[in-house]
Amino acid sequence: MSPRILVPLDSSIASLRGLDEAIRLAVRDNCALRLVHVVEAARYDDGGGRPAGADLIPWMERAGAQILQLGRARAEAAGIPAQTLLFTARTACVADIVVEQARAWEAGLIVIGTSGRREGLGQAVQAAGVIPVRLVVHGVQERESGPGSAHEDVAAAA
């Protein structure tokens, strides 16, 4: 496994739990982190492919940049440098962008915080089956994976 962990972030508590797990694995196994936020512009169009509000998408992009800055600060506080990427998706779905970025960066693991919904981002990324995915479900007691490394965690998930 590549010692790289990709973490999609949004403003949810579940997303922060995923980030915390990724940081824990990165510290334990000396992995690099890349944080990704996707603004879903297509979700907010007027039905004709145009944004519903002229200033809505730029505002969402600024909010996404802040989310990434906070995530980077959280990782750096634990001694892990983190790269950040912000995307604005006009047509592609978030899961496709996450998988594409994980492939391009040659990530060995994607860690996603989730609320556990059946049709959430985590399930969509897992369904792609390209790179191992670790789902961190908010509100559920985590199963400790034991003393093994992220590399062994990935092997167990594969």
Q: What is the DSSP string of the chain?
A: --SEEEEE--SSHHHHHHHHHHHHHHHHHT-EEEEEEEEEGGGGB-SSSSBSSTTHHHHHHHHHHHHHHHHHHHHHHTT--EEEEEEEESSS-HHHHHHHHHHHHT-SEEEEEE---TTSHHHHHHHH-SS-EEEEETTSPPPP-TT--HHHHHHHH-
Q: What is the pLDDT of residue 149?
A: 44
Q: What is the pLDDT of residue 136?
A: 92
Q: What is the pLDDT of residue 52?
A: 64
Q: What is the pLDDT of residue 123?
A: 82
Angle between helices 94-105 and 121-128 (to 10 degrees): 50
The CATH code of the domain that includes 90 is 3.40.50.620
Domain range enclosing 45:
4-157
CA distance 127 to 148: 25
CA distance 144 to 66: 31
Count up the domains in the chain and report the number.
1
73-105 residue pLDDT tens: 999 999 999 999 999 987 778 999 999 999 999
Q: What is the pLDDT of residue 49?
A: 62
Q: What is the pLDDT of residue 28?
A: 96
How do strand 109-114 and strand 4-8 relate by DSSP bridges? parallel
134: closest CA among 106, 69, 144? 144
Give this prediction's pTM: 0.81
pLDDT tens digit at each of 158 positions of the chain: 579 999 999 999 999 999 999 999 999 999 999 999 999 887 776 666 666 665 788 899 999 999 999 999 999 999 999 999 999 987 778 999 999 999 999 999 999 998 877 668 888 888 888 889 999 988 754 433 333 444 444 433 33
Backbone angles phi, psi at 135, to 5 degrees: -95, 130
